[in-house]
Structure 1
Amino acid sequence: MKKCAFLSMDSLEDFVCYDHLLNEPLARRGWQVREISWRAEQVDWNQFEAVIIRSPWDYQQDPNAFFKTLEDINRSSARLENKLELVEWNIDKTYLRDLEQQGIEIVPSLWRAKFDRQEWELFFEELGTDEIIIKPTISAGADDTYRLTREDKADYAEKLTAIFADRPFIVQPFMPNILSEGEFSLFYFGDSYSHTILKTPKKDDFRVQEEHGGRLQLVEPEKKLLATGQEILELIHPDPLYTRIDLVRTAQNTFALMELELIEPSLYFNMDPESPERFARVFDEWMN
């Protein structure tokens, strides 16, 4: 049996993970899977043909240590997927600027190195909105993500000053279609499209993650949505083993990129029963 490791975290007890659905289709192709925490010490990565980054959903707590593990894997004989240079680019949301410069429509964004309460009104004015989202440029799972109005300054300015004292962040307008329609996630394995899901937040929330009560449904993507996803996919180099592209419909009926997930996205294998088989087939071909 060929050996493959799924890079995870110490405990997934508070998370929803579907990677176990890959075990059987991979086994049929001669792959034995082992789940290993990225924090585990003294791991001989040379024993694996491949290490796939899957569910290290606490890496943002110590990105330097996370990168040390990835560099150790990269120095071994195992193939790291997605590749280290993709992770280095994708881990900071400034990658959105790179894609925007290549013609991709993103959710309008302001970038700041630290929070200054004097800029509060400017955020709303520059973005032309009454509601904003503030989040770190390095984050996962909606950690330290805030939806705010102009009137929230008194309640949040001090808190945001502390959180972003030396931590870069991004400011975006809140996209109302997140509530009225939802956020689309398109999934690709290699250069092959797999499936699309629509994520909507629970009542009185804006976060679409399952851990925050978000609702999911498998949908058939319209042509414009697929075309936008394909345009983004073709700009990613080197080629990723897996890609998740999160898009939201704009007021102009276009699709704006919210996130390009190349590090540890949930691939929602539970939503499309054929998707684990697709992934296993692509991965097996990828490694040959």
Structure 2
Amino acid sequence: MNTQKLSKSRDYSFLIATCAQYPQGNEGLVQLKMALEQKGFACWLQNWQEIPLDYLDTKTIILPLAIWDYSLHYSLFLEFLEKIEESSLRIVNPSALILWNLQKDYLLDLQKRDLPIIPSLVLYPHTPFWEERIGQKQWSNPVIKPLVGQSGMGVVRFNTQPLRQMDYPLGAMVQPFIESVYTQGEVCLVFFCQEYQYAIHRKPALSEWRANSHYKTTIHAIEPSDQWVEIAKKVVENLPFRACYVRVDLLPQDSQRALISEVELIEPSLYFDYYPQTSLQSFIANLLEFLGV
């Protein structure tokens, strides 16, 4: 980046959108804020529901990396995205990609491209006979998830508690339980601007199967197999729009195979604190490249 372009880029500022429960995000995002400020950018964290969109400078870039409650305020969040679209503001990742990623049925789009997702049954609010459709799959003790959900909220094993359709007002996704999560856990692969960066291993707590930090998961850096990276890379290449950051979550079956569990494009933990020497600088460099500044 030449000196003139570098100078102009400092006209931009960054707003890391957070949520009411975590208005300051987490330690990784505080470090991101400091790193952006050290490069001469203005940056602040603010609850997304309190962001004055009508008054923001058009060179303010919104990073929705801590909106960890959008699924609880779904209609409001859709309005939030719509207002951004109607303005000259930019959100990264772009709103079109966020909208694609909001409902877990995006996995079916990946399946159509011959990518190895966990087998998935989508139940929309208007879909009739939920229990009968689940029974037809003959999956033993399957997992049911809200079609729009975050942080493992509402994720349960179907046979351990009765299904109440009212608990899933936006629909649900049902999947067979993958036993390998007990022994191999989950691997999260992080990409910036389509380039693989690093990976994290999440191992569920004893007697737990949900590999989410809310359930006392053990987390550490990992060197993934080339085959896992290749699967995740194909996911990134098959997204409907170009992404600045992507986290692909896989359930390893062995060193050669893995199943796609989630593709996180909205507010994923990017685990900056597990790669402190490289992750923040790489993220910022790729963010500026993505923005063209």
TM-score normalised per structure 2: 0.87
Amino acid corresponding to residue 282 of structure 2 in structure 1: R
Matches within 5 A, 1:199-278: 199-250=202-253, 253-273=256-276, 274-278=278-282
Contact 2:63–2:91, Cα closer than 8 Å, also in 1? yes
* CA distance in 1 between partners of 2:86 and 2:121 (Å): 36
CA–CA separation in structure 2 for the residues paired with 1:15 and 1:79: 20
Amino acid corresponding to residue 81 of structure 2 in structure 1: L
TM superposition shift of 1:94: 0.9
**Partner in structure 2 of residue 281 of structure 1:** 285
Q: 1:108 Cα deviation (Å)?
A: 0.6
Contact preservation (8 Å) 1:5, 1:48: no
- Greater RCO between the two (CA within 8 Å, min separation 6)? 1
Q: Deviations over 1:29-63 (max 9, x none)?
A: 32221112111153423254311111111100111
What is residue 136 of structure 1 aligned with on the other side? 146
C-alpha separation in 2, matches of 1:179 and 1:266? 22
1:156 and 2:159 are equivalent in the alignment: no
Structure 1: which amino acid aligns with 2:86?
R
1:87-112 Cα offsets, whole Å, 9 max, x none, are 11110111111110011110011111
From the superposition, tell whether residues 100 and 17 of structure 1 become closer, same or farther in structure 2 (CA, over 3 Å). Answer: farther
Q: Does 1:174 align with 2:185?
A: no
Q: Which runs of 5+ in 1 are unaligned?
A: none
Deviations 1:218-271 (A, max 9, x none): 001111001101111111132111100001123795211110111111111111
Determine whether 1:93 maps to 2:104: yes
Distance of 1:95 and 1:220 partners within structure 2: 27
Residue of structure 2 equivalent to 1:197? 200
Which residue of the other structure, out of 64, 85, 88, is the alignment partner of 1:74? 85
Label 1:111 to 1:20 Cα distance change in 2 as closer, same or farther (>3 A).
Answer: same
**CA RMSD, aligned part only?**
2.5
Show the counterpart of 1:31: 41
One-letter amino acid matched to 1:3: S
Identity %: 23
Structure 2: give runs of 5+ residues left out of the alignment: 1-9
Q: Give TM-score, length-normalised by structure 1.
A: 0.88
Q: Which residue of 2 aligns with 1:45?
A: 56
Distance 1:36 1:45 in 2: 13
Deviation at 1:175, TM superposition (A): 0.9
Query: Quick one: distance in 1 between partners of 2:25 and 2:131?
Result: 34
Residues 1:240 and 1:210: Cα distance change in structure 2 (over 3 Å): same
Provide the residue aligned with 1:106 in structure 2.
Answer: 117
> Deviation string for 1:152-209 (max 9, x for gaps)?
3xx423xx23313x43111101111111111010001112211100111111212222
